Amino acid sequence: MPDGDTTRQGRTLRSARALREAGLIPPAAEAAAARVAERYAISVTPHVARLIDPADPADPIARQYIPDAAELATAPHEVDDPTADGPFTPVKGVVHRYPDRALLKPLLACPVYCRFCFRREVVGPDGGLLTEAELDAALAWFEATPAVKEAVLTGGDPLMLSPRRLGAILARLAAAAHIETLRIHTRVPVADPGRIDAAMAAALDQDKPVFLAVHANHAREFTAEAQDALARLARAGVPLLGQTVLLRGVNDSPEALEALFRAMIRARVKPYYLHALDPAPGTARFAVPDEDGLALLRALRGRVPGHAIPDFVRERPQGGGKRPVGQA
Ligand SMILES: *Cc1c(COP(=O)(O)O)cnc(C)c1O
Ligand code: SF4
Whether residue 119 is predicted with pLDDT greater than 70 in this model: the reply is yes
Ligand 1: atom nearest CA of 103 is 11
Domains defined for the chain, CATH in brackets: 4-72 (no CATH), 86-324 (3.20.20.70)
DSSP per residue, 299-316: HHBTTB-GGG--EEEEEE
Q: How confident is the model at residue 318 (pLDDT cuts 50, 70, 90)?
A: confident
- pLDDT above 50 (res 8): no
- When pLDDT is cut at 50, 70 and 90, the band that residue 60 belongs to is very high
Q: State the DSSP H helix or E strand holding residue 214, giving kind and residue range, or none if neither.
A: strand 210-215
Q: List phi, psi (to 5°) of 25.
A: -135, 150
SS3 category, 254: helix
How do residues 152-196 score in pLDDT, each as one tens digit?
Answer: 999 899 999 999 999 999 999 999 999 999 999 999 999 999 999
The CA 229 to ligand 2 mean position distance, Å, reads 19
Residue 153: its pLDDT value, please? 98
What distance in angstroms lies between residue 302's CA and the mean position of ligand 2's atoms? 32
Percent of the chain whose pLDDT exceeds 70: 97
Residues with Cβ within 6 A of ligand 2? Answer: 110, 113-114, 117, 119, 123, 156-157, 187, 215
pLDDT > 50? residue 206: yes
pLDDT at 328: 64
Q: How confident is the model at residue 238 (pLDDT cuts 50, 70, 90)?
A: very high
Do the beta carbons of residue 170 and residue 203 sit within 8 Å?
yes
Q: What is the pLDDT of residue 82?
A: 86
Contact status, residue 55 vs residue 48, Cβ threshold 8 Å = no
Cα–Cα distance measured from residue 170 to residue 206, given in angstroms and rounded to the nearest whole number: 7
Residue 6 is predicted with a pLDDT of 45
Q: What does the DSSP 8-state code read for residue 194?
A: G
Nearest CA to ligand 2 atom 6: 114
- Work out the pLDDT band at 86, boundaries 50, 70, 90: confident
- 32-66 in b/e form (b: 16+ CB < 10 A) is bbbebbeebbbbbbbbbbebbeeeeeebbbbbbbb
| E strand intervals along 2-135 | 94-98, 101-104
* pLDDT for res 1: 35
Output the CA–CA distances (angstroms, integers) from residue 41 to 102, 110, 193, 261, 279, in the order listed: 26, 10, 21, 29, 18
* Helix ranges, the chain (H): 16-21, 30-39, 46-51, 62-65, 132-143, 163-174, 188-191, 198-204, 224-235, 254-266, 290-300
Q: What stretches of 237-320 adopt beta strand conformation (E)?
A: 240-245, 270-275, 311-316
Residue 217 alpha carbon to ligand 2 centre in Å: 12
Pocket of ligand 1, beta carbon within 6 A: 83, 95, 97-98, 101, 103, 152, 322
How confident is the prediction for the chain on average, in pLDDT? 94
* Cis preceding-peptide flag for 156 (omega within 30 of 0): yes
d(CA 102, CA 122): 19
Kindly report which listed range (83-97, 218-232, 296-310) carries the lowest average pLDDT score.
83-97
- Which of these, 114, 120, 13, lies nearest to 64 by C-alpha position? 114
pLDDT of residue 52: 98
Run of H or E residues at 185: strand 181-186
Mean pLDDT of 185-209: 98
Taking alpha carbons only, the member of 27, 144, 164 closest to residue 90 is 144
Binding residues for [4Fe-4S] cluster: 110, 114, 117
Q: Give the ligand at the shortest distance from the Cα of 153.
A: 1
What pLDDT score does 81 carry?
Answer: 86
Residue nearest to atom 5 of ligand 2 (CA): 113
pLDDT category at 126 given cuts 50, 70, 90 is: confident
> Is 70:282 a contact under the CB 8 Å cutoff?
yes
pLDDT for residue 5 is more than 70: no
Report the pLDDT value the prediction gives residue 254, as an integer from 0 to 100.
98
Could you report the per-residue pLDDT of 20-36, keeping only the tens digit for each? 999 999 999 999 999 99
Nearest ligand by distance to the CA of 40: 2
pTM: 0.95
Atom from ligand 1 closest to the CA of residue 83 = 15
- Considering only CA atoms, which residue is closest to atom 7 of ligand 1? 322
Closest listed residue to residue 165, CA positions, set 127, 139, 191: 139
What's 27's DSSP letter?
Answer: G
Q: Average pLDDT in the 276-289 region?
A: 96
Rounded CA-CA distance 4/199 in Å is 15
pLDDT for residue 9: 58
Q: Closest ligand 2 atom, CA of 41?
A: 5
Helix (H) or strand (E) holding 16: helix 16-21
Please count the helices (runs of H) and the strands (runs of E) in the chain: 11, 9
Ligand nearest to the CA of 272: 1
